[in-house]
Structure 1
Amino acid sequence: MLFVAVYDFRQRRVPNWLVLAGAAVALAALALGMQPFGIEWSTALTGAAVGFGALLLLYAVGLMGAGDVKFAGALGLWVGLQALLPIWVVASLLAGLHSALWLALQRWPVAPRLSLMLLGRSSAASNGAAPATARRRIVPYAAYLSLATAAWMVWGRQG
Protein backbone atom coordinates (compact mmCIF):
# COMPACT_ATOMS: atom_id res chain seq x y z
CA MET A 1 0.00 0.00 0.00
CA LEU A 2 2.88 2.33 0.72
CA PHE A 3 4.30 1.86 -2.79
CA VAL A 4 0.88 2.43 -4.34
CA ALA A 5 0.42 5.64 -2.36
CA VAL A 6 3.87 6.95 -3.29
CA TYR A 7 3.48 6.11 -6.99
CA ASP A 8 0.00 7.59 -7.17
CA PHE A 9 0.84 10.78 -5.26
CA ARG A 10 4.01 11.39 -7.29
CA GLN A 11 3.05 10.19 -10.75
CA ARG A 12 -0.76 9.91 -10.71
CA ARG A 13 -0.52 6.30 -11.84
CA VAL A 14 -0.31 2.84 -10.32
CA PRO A 15 1.94 0.39 -12.18
CA ASN A 16 0.42 -2.93 -13.25
CA TRP A 17 3.31 -4.90 -11.74
CA LEU A 18 2.53 -3.44 -8.33
CA VAL A 19 -1.17 -4.25 -8.49
CA LEU A 20 -0.47 -7.77 -9.79
CA ALA A 21 2.08 -8.39 -7.04
CA GLY A 22 -0.43 -7.31 -4.39
CA ALA A 23 -3.16 -9.51 -5.88
CA ALA A 24 -0.80 -12.50 -6.16
CA VAL A 25 0.28 -12.20 -2.54
CA ALA A 26 -3.37 -11.89 -1.46
CA LEU A 27 -4.27 -15.06 -3.37
CA ALA A 28 -1.25 -16.88 -1.93
CA ALA A 29 -2.24 -15.82 1.61
CA LEU A 30 -5.76 -17.13 1.00
CA ALA A 31 -4.48 -20.41 -0.45
CA LEU A 32 -2.07 -20.97 2.44
CA GLY A 33 -4.63 -20.06 5.09
CA MET A 34 -2.54 -17.07 6.17
CA GLN A 35 -4.98 -14.31 5.31
CA PRO A 36 -4.24 -11.61 7.93
CA PHE A 37 -7.80 -10.30 8.21
CA GLY A 38 -9.47 -13.68 8.64
CA ILE A 39 -11.64 -13.57 5.54
CA GLU A 40 -12.59 -16.55 3.40
CA TRP A 41 -12.26 -17.10 -0.35
CA SER A 42 -15.86 -16.11 -1.08
CA THR A 43 -15.54 -12.87 0.87
CA ALA A 44 -12.24 -12.00 -0.79
CA LEU A 45 -13.48 -12.75 -4.30
CA THR A 46 -16.69 -10.81 -3.70
CA GLY A 47 -14.66 -7.84 -2.45
CA ALA A 48 -12.41 -8.02 -5.51
CA ALA A 49 -15.34 -8.27 -7.93
CA VAL A 50 -17.30 -5.43 -6.36
CA GLY A 51 -14.21 -3.23 -5.96
CA PHE A 52 -13.17 -3.74 -9.56
CA GLY A 53 -16.69 -3.65 -11.01
CA ALA A 54 -17.92 -0.53 -9.25
CA LEU A 55 -14.85 1.51 -10.12
CA LEU A 56 -14.85 0.12 -13.66
CA LEU A 57 -18.11 1.99 -14.19
CA LEU A 58 -16.42 5.21 -13.08
CA TYR A 59 -13.49 4.47 -15.38
CA ALA A 60 -15.88 3.88 -18.30
CA VAL A 61 -17.31 7.38 -17.97
CA GLY A 62 -13.85 8.93 -17.58
CA LEU A 63 -13.95 9.75 -13.87
CA MET A 64 -11.23 7.36 -12.73
CA GLY A 65 -7.94 5.97 -13.93
CA ALA A 66 -7.42 2.29 -14.79
CA GLY A 67 -4.83 1.88 -12.02
CA ASP A 68 -7.38 2.98 -9.44
CA VAL A 69 -9.81 0.34 -10.72
CA LYS A 70 -7.26 -2.46 -10.66
CA PHE A 71 -6.00 -1.46 -7.23
CA ALA A 72 -9.56 -1.50 -5.83
CA GLY A 73 -9.95 -5.05 -7.11
CA ALA A 74 -6.68 -6.16 -5.51
CA LEU A 75 -7.60 -4.35 -2.30
CA GLY A 76 -10.92 -6.21 -2.24
CA LEU A 77 -8.98 -9.48 -2.26
CA TRP A 78 -7.24 -8.41 0.93
CA VAL A 79 -10.07 -6.87 2.95
CA GLY A 80 -13.31 -8.28 1.51
CA LEU A 81 -16.53 -6.45 0.77
CA GLN A 82 -17.52 -5.56 4.34
CA ALA A 83 -14.33 -3.60 5.00
CA LEU A 84 -14.11 -2.24 1.47
CA LEU A 85 -17.26 -0.14 1.87
CA PRO A 86 -16.04 2.05 4.78
CA ILE A 87 -12.63 2.27 3.12
CA TRP A 88 -14.32 3.63 -0.02
CA VAL A 89 -16.24 6.18 1.99
CA VAL A 90 -13.12 7.50 3.73
CA ALA A 91 -11.07 7.46 0.50
CA SER A 92 -13.84 9.30 -1.34
CA LEU A 93 -14.02 11.96 1.38
CA LEU A 94 -10.24 12.43 1.19
CA ALA A 95 -10.39 12.62 -2.62
CA GLY A 96 -13.23 15.14 -2.36
CA LEU A 97 -11.16 17.29 0.00
CA HIS A 98 -8.24 17.04 -2.43
CA SER A 99 -10.48 18.19 -5.30
CA ALA A 100 -11.98 21.05 -3.31
CA LEU A 101 -8.54 22.24 -2.24
CA TRP A 102 -7.27 21.98 -5.82
CA LEU A 103 -10.20 24.07 -7.07
CA ALA A 104 -9.66 26.67 -4.34
CA LEU A 105 -5.94 26.89 -5.06
CA GLN A 106 -6.60 27.56 -8.73
CA ARG A 107 -7.82 30.97 -7.61
CA TRP A 108 -5.17 31.47 -4.92
CA PRO A 109 -3.08 34.57 -5.68
CA VAL A 110 0.03 33.49 -3.75
CA ALA A 111 2.21 31.05 -5.69
CA PRO A 112 -0.66 29.38 -7.57
CA ARG A 113 1.63 27.36 -9.83
CA LEU A 114 3.47 25.85 -6.86
CA SER A 115 0.30 24.94 -5.00
CA LEU A 116 -1.33 23.43 -8.07
CA MET A 117 1.83 21.50 -8.88
CA LEU A 118 1.77 19.92 -5.42
CA LEU A 119 -1.91 18.93 -5.62
CA GLY A 120 -2.51 18.49 -9.33
CA ARG A 121 0.58 16.89 -10.83
CA SER A 122 -0.25 14.30 -13.45
CA SER A 123 2.11 11.77 -14.95
CA ALA A 124 1.86 13.52 -18.30
CA ALA A 125 2.63 16.89 -16.75
CA SER A 126 5.68 15.59 -14.94
CA ASN A 127 7.07 13.88 -18.06
CA GLY A 128 6.77 16.85 -20.38
CA ALA A 129 3.98 18.01 -22.62
CA ALA A 130 0.73 16.10 -22.39
CA PRO A 131 -0.79 14.73 -25.59
CA ALA A 132 -3.91 16.55 -26.74
CA THR A 133 -6.07 13.51 -25.98
CA ALA A 134 -4.62 12.78 -22.53
CA ARG A 135 -6.94 13.34 -19.59
CA ARG A 136 -5.28 15.08 -16.67
CA ARG A 137 -5.41 13.07 -13.44
CA ILE A 138 -5.71 15.42 -10.52
CA VAL A 139 -6.86 13.14 -7.68
CA PRO A 140 -4.63 10.21 -6.68
CA TYR A 141 -7.56 7.97 -5.69
CA ALA A 142 -5.52 4.78 -5.22
CA ALA A 143 -3.32 6.68 -2.77
CA TYR A 144 -6.39 7.69 -0.81
CA LEU A 145 -7.63 4.09 -0.88
CA SER A 146 -4.27 3.11 0.61
CA LEU A 147 -4.48 5.75 3.34
CA ALA A 148 -8.05 4.80 4.20
CA THR A 149 -7.05 1.12 4.36
CA ALA A 150 -4.18 1.94 6.70
CA ALA A 151 -6.62 3.84 8.94
CA TRP A 152 -9.02 0.88 8.83
CA MET A 153 -6.20 -1.47 9.80
CA VAL A 154 -5.40 0.65 12.85
CA TRP A 155 -8.82 1.83 14.02
CA GLY A 156 -11.55 0.06 12.03
CA ARG A 157 -10.76 -3.48 13.13
CA GLN A 158 -10.94 -2.71 16.85
CA GLY A 159 -14.14 -3.71 18.54
Structure 2
Amino acid sequence: MTGDFFRLALICALGALLIVAAITDLRSRIISNRLNLIVAALAPLWWIACGLPLWPGVVVQLGGGILVFMIFAGLFALGMMGGGDVKLLGALALWFPWQILVSLLVLMALLGGAVTILTVIDHKLRKKQGQAEIPYGVAISIAALWVLGEQYLNHFA
Protein backbone atom coordinates (compact mmCIF):
# COMPACT_ATOMS: atom_id res chain seq x y z
CA MET A 1 0.00 0.00 0.00
CA THR A 2 2.85 2.39 0.81
CA GLY A 3 4.46 1.56 -2.53
CA ASP A 4 1.24 2.46 -4.37
CA PHE A 5 1.08 5.79 -2.55
CA PHE A 6 4.73 6.55 -3.36
CA ARG A 7 4.22 5.69 -7.06
CA LEU A 8 1.06 7.80 -7.19
CA ALA A 9 2.91 10.71 -5.52
CA LEU A 10 5.68 10.47 -8.12
CA ILE A 11 3.14 10.36 -10.96
CA CYS A 12 1.43 13.44 -9.53
CA ALA A 13 4.79 15.23 -9.18
CA LEU A 14 5.69 14.41 -12.77
CA GLY A 15 2.24 15.52 -13.90
CA ALA A 16 2.62 18.85 -12.11
CA LEU A 17 6.08 19.37 -13.65
CA LEU A 18 4.69 18.63 -17.11
CA ILE A 19 1.92 21.18 -16.63
CA VAL A 20 4.49 23.78 -15.54
CA ALA A 21 6.64 22.92 -18.58
CA ALA A 22 3.69 23.36 -20.94
CA ILE A 23 2.61 26.67 -19.40
CA THR A 24 6.10 28.18 -19.31
CA ASP A 25 6.82 27.05 -22.86
CA LEU A 26 3.54 28.52 -24.04
CA ARG A 27 4.20 31.83 -22.28
CA SER A 28 7.92 32.34 -22.86
CA ARG A 29 9.04 29.55 -25.23
CA ILE A 30 11.42 28.33 -22.51
CA ILE A 31 11.50 25.12 -20.49
CA SER A 32 13.92 25.67 -17.64
CA ASN A 33 16.96 23.52 -17.06
CA ARG A 34 15.95 23.25 -13.40
CA LEU A 35 12.58 21.74 -14.32
CA ASN A 36 14.23 19.24 -16.69
CA LEU A 37 16.78 18.35 -14.02
CA ILE A 38 14.00 17.68 -11.49
CA VAL A 39 12.18 15.43 -13.98
CA ALA A 40 15.40 13.48 -14.57
CA ALA A 41 16.32 13.37 -10.87
CA LEU A 42 12.92 11.91 -9.91
CA ALA A 43 13.31 9.03 -12.39
CA PRO A 44 15.55 6.92 -10.10
CA LEU A 45 12.94 7.24 -7.34
CA TRP A 46 10.39 5.98 -9.88
CA TRP A 47 12.65 3.02 -10.70
CA ILE A 48 12.94 2.17 -7.00
CA ALA A 49 9.18 2.55 -6.45
CA CYS A 50 8.51 0.22 -9.39
CA GLY A 51 11.12 -2.32 -8.27
CA LEU A 52 13.13 -1.95 -11.48
CA PRO A 53 16.21 -4.19 -11.32
CA LEU A 54 19.62 -2.65 -11.92
CA TRP A 55 20.27 -5.10 -14.75
CA PRO A 56 18.80 -4.90 -17.29
CA GLY A 57 16.06 -2.49 -16.15
CA VAL A 58 17.96 0.60 -15.01
CA VAL A 59 20.62 0.14 -17.68
CA VAL A 60 17.95 0.00 -20.41
CA GLN A 61 16.25 3.13 -19.03
CA LEU A 62 19.54 5.03 -18.96
CA GLY A 63 20.41 3.84 -22.47
CA GLY A 64 16.97 4.87 -23.73
CA GLY A 65 17.31 8.29 -22.16
CA ILE A 66 20.72 8.81 -23.74
CA LEU A 67 19.51 7.58 -27.14
CA VAL A 68 16.43 9.84 -27.12
CA PHE A 69 18.54 12.80 -26.03
CA MET A 70 21.08 12.17 -28.79
CA ILE A 71 18.46 11.80 -31.53
CA PHE A 72 16.64 14.97 -30.54
CA ALA A 73 19.90 16.85 -29.95
CA GLY A 74 20.56 16.16 -33.62
CA LEU A 75 17.21 17.76 -34.45
CA PHE A 76 18.19 20.70 -32.24
CA ALA A 77 21.44 21.05 -34.17
CA LEU A 78 19.39 21.23 -37.37
CA GLY A 79 17.23 23.97 -35.86
CA MET A 80 14.15 21.76 -35.70
CA MET A 81 13.69 21.68 -31.91
CA GLY A 82 14.44 23.83 -28.92
CA GLY A 83 17.02 22.87 -26.32
CA GLY A 84 14.51 22.71 -23.48
CA ASP A 85 12.32 20.37 -25.53
CA VAL A 86 15.28 18.05 -26.14
CA LYS A 87 16.22 17.98 -22.46
CA LEU A 88 12.61 17.35 -21.41
CA LEU A 89 12.33 14.42 -23.83
CA GLY A 90 15.61 12.96 -22.57
CA ALA A 91 14.44 13.27 -18.97
CA LEU A 92 11.05 11.74 -19.76
CA ALA A 93 12.71 8.82 -21.54
CA LEU A 94 14.13 7.85 -18.14
CA TRP A 95 10.59 7.30 -16.84
CA PHE A 96 9.00 5.11 -19.50
CA PRO A 97 9.71 1.64 -20.86
CA TRP A 98 10.59 1.79 -24.56
CA GLN A 99 7.16 0.56 -25.70
CA ILE A 100 5.39 3.38 -23.87
CA LEU A 101 8.09 5.84 -24.94
CA VAL A 102 7.39 5.02 -28.59
CA SER A 103 3.68 5.73 -27.98
CA LEU A 104 4.62 9.01 -26.31
CA LEU A 105 6.79 10.04 -29.27
CA VAL A 106 4.11 9.19 -31.84
CA LEU A 107 1.45 11.07 -29.89
CA MET A 108 3.89 13.97 -29.38
CA ALA A 109 4.48 14.17 -33.14
CA LEU A 110 0.74 14.27 -33.87
CA LEU A 111 0.07 16.85 -31.17
CA GLY A 112 3.14 18.79 -32.28
CA GLY A 113 1.66 19.10 -35.73
CA ALA A 114 -1.54 20.51 -34.27
CA VAL A 115 0.38 22.91 -32.03
CA THR A 116 2.46 24.03 -35.02
CA ILE A 117 -0.60 24.70 -37.17
CA LEU A 118 -2.33 26.65 -34.39
CA THR A 119 0.83 28.64 -33.63
CA VAL A 120 1.37 29.55 -37.28
CA ILE A 121 -2.27 30.60 -37.68
CA ASP A 122 -2.03 32.75 -34.54
CA HIS A 123 1.26 34.24 -35.77
CA LYS A 124 -0.30 35.23 -39.08
CA LEU A 125 -3.53 36.55 -37.55
CA ARG A 126 -1.54 38.78 -35.20
CA LYS A 127 0.64 39.84 -38.15
CA LYS A 128 3.82 39.16 -36.20
CA GLN A 129 7.17 39.58 -37.92
CA GLY A 130 9.65 36.75 -38.36
CA GLN A 131 9.12 33.05 -38.05
CA ALA A 132 6.70 31.61 -35.49
CA GLU A 133 8.34 29.95 -32.47
CA ILE A 134 6.57 26.67 -31.81
CA PRO A 135 5.95 25.81 -28.12
CA TYR A 136 6.66 22.11 -28.66
CA GLY A 137 6.84 21.58 -24.91
CA VAL A 138 3.05 21.76 -24.95
CA ALA A 139 2.85 18.73 -27.25
CA ILE A 140 5.51 16.88 -25.26
CA SER A 141 3.72 17.56 -21.98
CA ILE A 142 0.26 16.59 -23.22
CA ALA A 143 1.61 13.38 -24.77
CA ALA A 144 3.44 12.49 -21.54
CA LEU A 145 0.37 13.25 -19.42
CA TRP A 146 -1.71 11.10 -21.75
CA VAL A 147 0.59 8.07 -21.50
CA LEU A 148 0.93 8.55 -17.75
CA GLY A 149 -2.83 8.42 -17.41
CA GLU A 150 -3.21 5.49 -19.78
CA GLN A 151 -0.41 3.42 -18.32
CA TYR A 152 -0.43 4.18 -14.63
CA LEU A 153 -3.73 5.74 -13.58
CA ASN A 154 -6.35 3.71 -15.48
CA HIS A 155 -5.82 0.71 -13.24
CA PHE A 156 -6.99 2.77 -10.22
CA ALA A 157 -10.44 3.27 -11.80
TM-score, length-scaled by structure 1? 0.71
Does the CA contact (< 8 Å) of 1:12 and 1:138 recur in 2? yes
Pairing 1:28–2:45 present: yes
Name the CA distance, whole Å, in 2 between partners of 1:74 and 1:35.
17
Question: Which letter maps to 2:71?
Answer: A
User: For 1:77-104, what per-residue CA distance to the aligned partner results, in whole angstroms no more than 9, with x for missing partners?
Assistant: 1113221111111111111112223334
Distance change in 2, residues 1:26/1:43 (3 Å): same
Matched ranges for 1:28-107 at <5 A: 28-30=45-47, 33-35=48-50, 40-105=57-122
- Structure 1: gaps (5+ residues): 118-124, 126-134
> Taking structure 1 as reference, are residues 155 and 54 closer, same or farther at Cα in structure 2, changes over 3 Å only?
same
How many residues in Structure 1 have an aligned counterpart in Structure 2? 134
- Tell me how far apart the structure 2 counterparts of residues 151 and 24 of structure 1 sit (CA, whole Å): 21
Tell me, in whole angstroms, the C-alpha distance in 1 between the residues paired with 2:40 and 2:77: 22
Write the distance in 1 (CA, Å) between the matches of 2:113 and 2:60: 28
Q: Deviations over 1:82-132 (max 9, x none)?
A: 21111111111111112223334555xxxx21xx78xxxxxxx9xxxxxxx
Letter of the structure 1 residue corresponding to residue 118 of structure 2 = L
Q: What SS class does the counterpart of residue 78 from structure 1 fall into?
A: coil
Deviation at 1:56, TM superposition (A): 0.6
Higher helix share: 2
Which of 138, 142, 148 lines up with 2:143 in the alignment? 148
Choose from 21, 31, 56 the match for 1:4.
21
- C-alpha RMSD of matched pairs (Å): 2.8
TM-score (norm 2): 0.72
Letter in 2 for 1:34: A
CA deviations over 1:42-61 (Å, ceiling 9, x no partner): 23112211220111110011
CA distance, structure 2, for counterparts of residue 45 and residue 12 of structure 1: 27
Name whichever of 148-157 and 89-98 sits farther off: 148-157
1:4 positional shift: 1.2
